[in-house]
Chains A and B, each alone.
Chain A
Amino acid sequence: MIYVYAVIEATASPLDLSPGLEDQPVRISSESELAAVYSVHDRPIAATAEHLWRHEGVVETIMRQTTLIPARFGTTFADVEKLCDKLRLHRSKLVEGLNRVRGCVEIGIRIAPPPPAAAGRIADDASGRAYMLARLAEERARRGREESATGMLAELHELLRPLSRERSEPTMTHGALRTAYLVERDGAPALAARVVDFANKTADPKILCTGPWPAYHFVPDLSEAKHERS
């Protein structure tokens, strides 16, 4: 089984690659101007923290040396030939994707509204009206926290826009408003510093900045390119 970490340009200089999942050697196969970075395994890869970090480690090692499109964890093929078929099938989208993120990294922003105050337990014999009013208060508090985070992100975005190329669509997940900025590698520290400066002036909600990451949020969507042929 072929496990894929990333797609790079075939013209990239020889890479210094770290060991892959299960300490397997990481290899490169080219197809036209594209190349895939992968390792070979004889069993499925489990979604464990160790494997996630190893996958990320391989991708970041490549990221430090050349432009790449990171593959989603768990991307596998039966053999190299089938992998190269996919590179051929999606060639122009992948080339376009590499051009989009060339020289860039991703910085993650997470704005976490303060956790809800401990809600009073609704008595078992409370009336239906009392129950509904309590739920309404909870819902209003939740929306208030989300609106606060959204307003703060809008304010922060005005500061980060000049330092970035693109921003991903903000989403509310795991109770936090999240987005990612595509920024030139050399500009990442300045963007991060601006986030920290902004966060230091803010008590709540909590603002966190992570990265630099490979450009996971800015990869091409190949689901719309199924019939593409070179």
Chain B
Amino acid sequence: MNGVEEKSAHEHVTLLELIDRLLDKGVVLSGEITLSVADVDLIDLGLRVLLTSTEARERRRLTAPPS
């Protein structure tokens, strides 16, 4: 792996760490998270954001106590 590839891989992992925290952790004050996904081509990054968001939302739905 050359220097540029290594830097890119590092940034990718850091972004994954960021996404995992911001979309799945952090205090939920409102009980409902409002997210909209930009109406643009879903590059890898956008897809991951969407995927993580969807996974997290689904997990919350499955673990939420029955109303």
B27 and A220: CB pair below 8 A? Answer: yes
Interface residues of B, count at CB 8 A: 32
Say yes or no: is B2 at the interface (Cβ < 8 Å to chain A). Answer: no
Q: A197-229: which residues lie under 8 A (CB-CB) from chain B?
A: 208, 210, 213, 216-217, 219-220, 222-223
Q: B16-67: which residues lie under 8 A (CB-CB) from chain A?
A: 16-31, 33-38, 45-46, 49-50, 53, 64-65
Q: Tell whether A52 pairs with B27 under 8 Å between CB atoms, given A46-B36, A47-B36, A47-B50.
A: no
Q: How far is the CB of B26 from chain A (nearest CB, A)?
A: 4
Q: Which of the segments A19-27, A67-75, A137-145 contacts the partner chain?
A: A67-75
By beta carbon, the residue of chain B nearest A106 is B21
Q: Which residues of A have CB within 8 Å of B23?
A: 47, 72-74
Say yes or no: is A184 at the interface (Cβ < 8 Å to chain B). Answer: no
A55 to B26, CA, bound (A): 12
A174 to B24, CA, bound (A): 13
A191 to B6, CA, bound (A): 23
Q: Which residues of A have CB within 8 Å of B45?
A: 49
Instruction: With a 10 A CB-CB cut-off, give which of B15, B28, B30, B45 has the most chain A CB atoms.
Output: B30
B binding-site residues for A, Cβ under 8 Å:
13-31, 33-38, 45-46, 49-50, 53, 64-65
Given A49-B15, A174-B20, 5 new contacts (CB under 8 A): A49-B45, A56-B18, A72-B23, A210-B14, A222-B29
A binding-site residues for B, Cβ under 8 Å:
4, 7, 36, 44-49, 52-53, 55-56, 69-77, 83, 86-87, 90, 94, 97, 108, 110, 173-174, 178, 208, 210, 213, 216-217, 219-220, 222-223
